[in-house]
Amino acid sequence: MSKDPLLARARGVWQELASVPVSFGAAGEKHVVVSPGSRICPRGWAGIVLLGGAAVVTAPSREAADRIRTAVAALPAERLTDPESVRRVLPTGEVLGPAGLAYVADEGFRPAAAPTGLRVEEAAAGDVDLGGLERAAGAADADEAGLDGMSSPVFVVRVAGQVVAAAAYRDWPGHAAHVGVLTAPAWRGRGLARATGSAAVRHALAQGLLPQWRARRPASREVAVALGFSELGSQLAVELV
């Protein structure tokens, strides 16, 4: 068990998502478990989470778990979320990720304000039309942000009445708040992701939740670091063939 409270809380989130009893071991350890109902990955896939140098892998069947254990036996734990390393030892189809997993506690949070002349507004999720923002950002960025179905208020920046940036979070198992942030391409690089993300994180911390920033794109990961998040690991999901 980790002595780092932030890492311990992060691990608790993914242990619950594994949907079967499992725990992260010491750095370098790999635990493969059978979990057809794992919420770490799509049904029928293998889900891999690396936190604090230790890995948990969920497999859809006992046969799949045996294949994975044999395949990754000689693979260092820190390479289990590297798609090319996994493909070299295990036949796979589609791959989702890897995504960095970052977390922050109250004492590490670095709030960010909106740029001069702009402000962050708070609104109920159903009261904000994010369609224009999502179309401007494109399907890939909108999917990664995942603002649909968020359980928190939505924090937005408007220009001439149009939403150009937004952030919110979804309640996750383990008392986590999964944060999503989206900025229109024409307004990127101006600090709007930091400002809206900061508002969402502040709200989550006030509820006693653990803010989680899961991102694949370097720009998004840089925003998390600017807000005080610590990247503690990564996640990968692979389709077994």
The structural domains of the chain, ordered by start, are 5-100+234-240 (no CATH), 106-233 (3.40.630.30)
pLDDT (tens, 9 = 90+) of the chain, 241 residues, equals 456 999 999 999 999 999 999 999 999 999 999 999 999 999 999 999 999 999 999 999 999 999 999 999 999 999 999 999 999 999 999 999 999 999 999 999 999 999 999 999 999 887 888 999 999 999 989 988 889 888 999 999 999 999 999 999 999 999 999 999 999 999 999 999 999 999 999 999 999 999 999 999 898 999 999 999 999 999 999 999 9
Give me the amino acid identity at 34: V
Side by side, the strands of the sheet bearing 30-34 are 30-34, 54-59, 46-51, 230-240, 92-103, 210-215, 176-183, 162-172, 154-159, 121-123
Question: Tokens 């309640």 label which residue?
Answer: 171
The per-residue pLDDT for 1 is 43
pTM, to two decimals: 0.93
3-state helix, strand, coil split of the chain in percent (to 5) is 35, 30, 35
CA distances from 69 to 15, 55, 60 (A): 19, 12, 13
The per-residue pLDDT for 149 is 81
CA distances from 207 to 137, 138, 175, 203 (A): 30, 31, 9, 7
Dihedral sign (CA 239, 87, 235, 141): negative
